[in-house]
Structure 1
Amino acid sequence: MGEFVLVPGARLGGWAWDAVAEQLRSAGHAVYAVTLSGLAGGDADVVGQQQHVDDIVSVVEGNDLYDVVLVGHSYSGIPVGQAAGRIGDRLRRVVYVDSSIPADGLSFADAWSPEDRVWLDEQLAEGDGTWLPAGPEYFVDQDLSAEAINLLATRGTPHPGLTLTQPARLARPITELPTTYIKCLMSGDTPTPDVQQALNSPHWDLVELQTGHWPMLSQPAELAKLLAAS
């Protein structure tokens, strides 16, 4: 049985994985759902990208985990990909769930268009250095129930802005690591160009899931099965 470390996307805590974690645990797996620094209150405006990487590495090393499946959703693919290169032979596989992937020296926001980057800068200024939680309208047309949309909108917390703008530092190229990329088709038919390029690696596999960008809430049982098969 595997050891699963589940990392949520921006503005979310470990609670976002509750339904998936329940499915995996019922199948006999060990599960650690991470709430990254600054996402549960505290000094969110000063938490940086490398702190999020350290958070993930600390869960693995602090619990002496081996045969680890590191799972990153959305934003958290950036720190997950970096952490995967640091944990050495403890890693079994990386799974990116409709997520960004890290590139050495580049940040999460560097992949955005100039117009979107201006919008993000405005958001961070409005949030005093944090990315404020999204309203319910952000989650429509993504295969989510009204209950799930309400959960995302009411439990989301401000996200540390520095983690979005500080660069990734790769200890090892991500294309050398055993990896599954799960593309959620309701958020776009194809992966982003950087993911498509990475998928040329013999170590990477692509899996498609017919749901929206938050499959841990829209299709938790299906997502848990994909993770268990990783």
Structure 2
Amino acid sequence: MTGEQIVLVGGLWLDGSAWSGVATELTKRGRHAVPVTLPGQGDGHTSATLADQVAAVLAAVDAEPGGSVVVGHSAACTLAWLAADARPGRVAKVVLIGGFPSGNGQPYADFFPIVDGVMPFPGWEPFDGADAADLDEPARQAFAAAAIPVPAGVARGVVQLTDERRFDVPVVMVCPEFTPAQAREWIAAGDLPELTRAKHVTLVDIDSGHWPMLTRPAELAMILATV
């Protein structure tokens, strides 16, 4: 294996198995992939909190003293950024796929209704258009059937950022359902404050919807292996 380990953190409703195709491709390329199953998203703990999820990501980072590339997808872009905030000396790079880090004091992912203490997958209507354009009907049905309701303590957890050295950690933004040009405009306009302040941001395009680890695993792995 070569280079830093690549810690893979999925977004809402996903467990570590979402990365199986990407992890296989990374291994073929001689990279050490570490998919993370987050507390409350695959381990049965519906009382998990945002702090529990941050701790799980940090445990993966701390297990490799040689450094880590931390990959966050969608809402978990914030988890990757929280890892950089907590371990700026150990996180060599942050990769953001289809999302942006929330700022200090903001809710983590309070996007959809909470039902009986969890935020279930809301169905496909909120993702009409580019988000799900590359998922056919069987793939959508499989996704919905496997989707893990996210504990309220995660979704409504408050982001706490404390170390400005996070802005020194290089960031690679992988742009699936939006373009690098759009992301560049958002950063320049100050719409993504954490990334506006980041000192090293690289934008990479991928021709996919919101879940490239499911629809373009080989292409995504190639990007991650070379960032």
Same-fold call, TM > 0.5?
Answer: yes
1:106 positional shift: 1.2
Other structure's SS at 1:53 match = helix
CA distance in 2, matches of 1:156, 1:189: 31
Structure 1 residue 43, shift from structure 2 partner: 3.2
1:163-189 per-residue CA deviation (whole Å, 9 max, x = no partner) reads 122211113234321111111135997
Q: Compute the displacement of 1:109 (Å).
A: 4.1
Moved more, 46-55 or 134-143: 134-143
Distance in 2 of aligned mates of 1:216 and 1:67:
23
Give 1:98 shift.
0.6
Contact 1:199 1:206 in 2 (8 A): no
CA RMSD of aligned residues (A): 2.5
Aligned counterpart, 2:212: 215
Find out whether 1:96 has 2:96 as its counterpart: yes
Q: Deviation of residue 197 (structure 1)?
A: 6.8
Number of residue pairs matched by the alignment:
216
Equivalent residues in 2 for 1:39-54 (5 A)?
39-44=41-46, 46-54=47-55
Please say if 1:182 is aligned against 2:179.
no
Write 1 or 2 for the structure with the bigger share of helix.
Answer: 1
CA contact (8 A) 1:79 1:102 kept: no
Q: CA deviation at 1:59?
A: 1.5
Of 150, 161, 166, the match for 1:170? 161
Contact map agreement 1:48 1:166 (CA 8 A) in 2? yes
2:176 and 2:212 in contact (8 A); partners too? yes
Aligned residue in 1 for 2:12: 10
In 1, Cα distance between equivalents of 2:214 and 2:17: 10
Distance, in Å, in 2 between the alignment partners of 1:91 and 1:74 is 19
Per-residue CA deviation, residues 139-174 of structure 1 (Å, 9 max, x unaligned), is: 664212444323311211111122122211113234
- 1:38-187 to structure 2, matched below 5 A, reads 38-44=40-46, 46-61=47-62, 63-109=63-109, 120=112, 123-124=113-114, 127-135=115-123, 141-173=132-164, 174-185=166-177
**Identity in percent:** 29
In the superposition, the TM-score normalised over structure 1's length comes to 0.83
The equivalent of 1:204 in structure 2 is: 201
- CA deviation map 1:75-107 (0-9, x unaligned): 111222111222232221000101230311111
Whole-angstrom CA distance in 2 between matches of 1:25 and 1:98: 23
Task: Answer yes or no: is the 8 Å Cα contact 2:75–2:109 preserved in 1.
Answer: no
1: CA distance between counterparts of 2:142 and 2:7? 22
SS at match of 2:37: coil
> Can you give the 5+ residue segments of structure 1 that lack an aligned partner in the other structure?
111-116
Task: Give the alignment's TM-score, normalised by structure 2.
Answer: 0.84
* CA 100–90 in structure 1, closer or farther in 2 if over 3 Å, else same: same
What secondary structure sits across from 1:206 in the alignment? strand
